[in-house]
Structure 1
């Protein structure tokens, strides 16, 4: 901005000073032309003295010569410079008015020449002299004024620039400080995001990042707390029953009983570790699927058959209304894992002596699969969290039935990897509704 202002001031000063100098020179030339016009009407000594008398009170000087350069009249005494200048132009044949000296920076005078013509015959010349100090004083005055205005403008510019810079950079510095807090692990960031510009967008992004980091931090803490609690329970069982079974006075029947419990808890622990491993691979994007076009009904039947012993033990009836020949795009192994996880969840929440309904609906671009039980359902405020890791509606009851709280989280991730969606809702029982694509673009 300062460079632009200096350039503009230089251009403006040059144009104004040149204009003023030209006005002085043009005015001097016009004054000489006016005297010449008077003398052309009456060229005698009286008129010449009258013209000279008119210039005696002015700062300018007039000199009237004949055609040979002899001085006929002047408004004041001539110095050497004026005489030399008249002598150098005395024998010339100038046909029109002209400026014969314009070097006001070095010469003591600027001068003009106006030839006197009467009936086509050259009678003489009118010389006009003006001290160069007039122009020098004018340019000096303009320079002083411009320097003052330029200095004032620069000061105002600097004040405005620094003020605006401070106002603009203040929120940026604040954002920098808050992002440094984020890098140190502090997630309590509050930035003013009411700006209707890029700063507001950036502030809102940082606030959202802070909220996301706080949520992730809380979820991580909750997850670590929950998983440590979940692992502690089977490990306590393993240690306790192993101690009891190792006692010498424990009979063989009780030893076998305790060993069966240890085996059962070990299987639960291994299953939970495997599920955690799968979730970790999903988070790292190393969990792979191999989707293909396959028929749905055989896969559902295989998943039901794998769960038959548990259904039979808990007296759970399963109905399947899937049309034959309906195909979709999925990894068969992962799809059966999804169905098994959902059915296990149904057993946990619906309890024994219940019914499970599996319905498949053919839609335009996708297939809807609904798995519903006739149990009590879940509270409405728990529905959005059913697919969260380690979330339980009834912790004690779920742990008693062997749930880890990871099954539905794995379901959500697998369905999402296939480009589908899953949700839960209460429909006189809990209903898990999934939508799978018919064709894949993975």
Structure 2
């Protein structure tokens, strides 16, 4: 293509010189690049005139024309190459876009959709598509669990509400009821009302979770004091199942963090340990600082959790005990929120279950 363009340019130049500017060019060339000399023979009355080339003028001119022509040709070649490259780039982008659309909408493998020269693109897109499909699967599972949980809660709300109404009606209809029986009915009604309150709070947790944005207000946090305070606050929950807490931690442990948010993390983990511990067993909390990080472990004795369930503990709306009648599970948000808070603090939270011992490990950056 470049040779064709050069040939066309030379042909046009030749036509201009040979036809359009014929007389003008010859006159100009003879006057500027030639020297005229003559010889007259007086005896014979004849003379000769001849023209010689003025090489002192012609050589620089030819050199300038050559350089100018070369630059012109290179410029034309560069422009043509750029135009060709842009056209090729456009064709490549169009081709990749079509292949990308076909791959993302279809079920074929990236290797079969993209040619070998686009192997790197196909590998990256394969990873992206796998991640998108995994996120989509997780979202569908979360939505399904959320909808099922709402349906269970809506159904289960009727039971304590019916009991509350029934016992209050009995108390209202029998003002002369014996004191012991009245106290029994009052206690049952109060228990059902507490259960009803818990379910309503679960509803609020579900509807509020996707609307809230967790923001941290960091300050130095005294971990030992925080854990002691949480243990005291959760004492009624622990005593219901006969559980006790043993804290093994350095009293000088400090981490940079939001004390309220970290209290929520440790509270959720501790309540989870209490809910799934064997009766009359000990929950052990240890904390130590090592290599710029503080590691906390919450260990309890309870049924061994299968690995497939262990991997889902920190997913939203996942409940280890799917039976609503057990009374042990909440909305399935506690550990998911705990993971988000720990991640925002630059740490991580994991769980393991071996030989009827469940251990939650929380790692946080230490105070510098």
Q: TM-score, normalised by structure 1?
A: 0.57
Distance 1:362-1:210 versus aligned 2 partners, 3 A rule: closer
Contact residue 193 and residue 203 of structure 1 kept, 8 A: no
CA-to-aligned-CA distance 1:274-330 (integer Å, 9 cap, x gap): 53366324xx53x22222112211111000001112222321121111012121112
Distance 1:165-1:372 versus aligned 2 partners, 3 A rule: same
Please, what is the CA RMSD of the aligned residues?
4.3
Distance 1:216-1:257 versus aligned 2 partners, 3 A rule: same
Q: Offset of 1:271 from its aligned partner?
A: 3.1
Contact residue 420 and residue 435 of structure 1 kept, 8 A: yes
The alignment partner of 2:346 has SS state of coil
CA-to-aligned-CA distance 1:406-436 (integer Å, 9 cap, x gap): 2111211111111111000124400000011
Distance 1:220-1:377 versus aligned 2 partners, 3 A rule: closer
Contact residue 254 and residue 367 of structure 2 kept, 8 A: no
1:175 matched to 2:107? The reply is: no
Contact residue 149 and residue 331 of structure 2 kept, 8 A: no
**Aligned residue number for residue 126 of structure 2:** 204
Q: 2:362 aligns with which of 434, 437, 440?
A: 434
Distance 1:165-1:9 versus aligned 2 partners, 3 A rule: farther
Q: Offset of 1:9 from its aligned partner?
A: 4.1
Structure with larger RCO (C-alpha < 8 A, sep 6+): 2
Partner Cα separation in structure 2 for residue 416 and residue 318 of structure 1: 26
CA-to-aligned-CA distance 1:117-138 (integer Å, 9 cap, x gap): xxxxxxxxxxxxxxxxxxxxxx
CA-to-aligned-CA distance 1:95-138 (integer Å, 9 cap, x gap): 3578xxxxxxxxxxxxxxxxxxxxxxxxxxxxxxxxxxxxxxxx
Q: Offset of 1:378 from its aligned partner?
A: 1.0
1:236 matched to 2:158? The reply is: yes
Q: Offset of 1:176 from its aligned partner?
A: 3.9
1:276 matched to 2:171? The reply is: no
Partner Cα separation in structure 1 for residue 89 and residue 305 of structure 2: 57
- Equivalent residues in 2 for 1:283-362 (5 A)? 285=213, 287-362=214-289
Contact residue 299 and residue 359 of structure 2 kept, 8 A: yes
Partner Cα separation in structure 2 for residue 290 and residue 189 of structure 1: 48
Partner Cα separation in structure 1 for residue 10 and residue 161 of structure 2: 94
Partner Cα separation in structure 2 for residue 376 and residue 206 of structure 1: 38
Partner Cα separation in structure 2 for residue 8 and residue 208 of structure 1: 52
Partner Cα separation in structure 2 for residue 299 and residue 417 of structure 1: 19
Partner Cα separation in structure 2 for residue 355 and residue 330 of structure 1: 28
Between Structure 1 and Structure 2, how many residues are aligned? 306
Contact residue 276 and residue 328 of structure 2 kept, 8 A: no
Contact residue 168 and residue 189 of structure 2 kept, 8 A: no
Contact residue 348 and residue 398 of structure 1 kept, 8 A: no
Q: Offset of 1:394 from its aligned partner?
A: 3.0
Partner Cα separation in structure 2 for residue 322 and residue 338 of structure 1: 17
- Equivalent residues in 2 for 1:384-403 (5 A)? 384-396=311-323, 399-403=326-330
Q: Which has the higher helix share?
A: 2
Q: Offset of 1:360 from its aligned partner?
A: 0.6
- Equivalent residues in 2 for 1:6-45 (5 A)? 7-11=5-9, 13=11
Runs of 5+ consecutive residues of structure 1 not aligned to the other structure:
19-66, 69-90, 99-157, 182-186
Q: TM-score, normalised by structure 2?
A: 0.67
**Aligned residue number for residue 375 of structure 1:** 302
Contact residue 341 and residue 411 of structure 1 kept, 8 A: yes
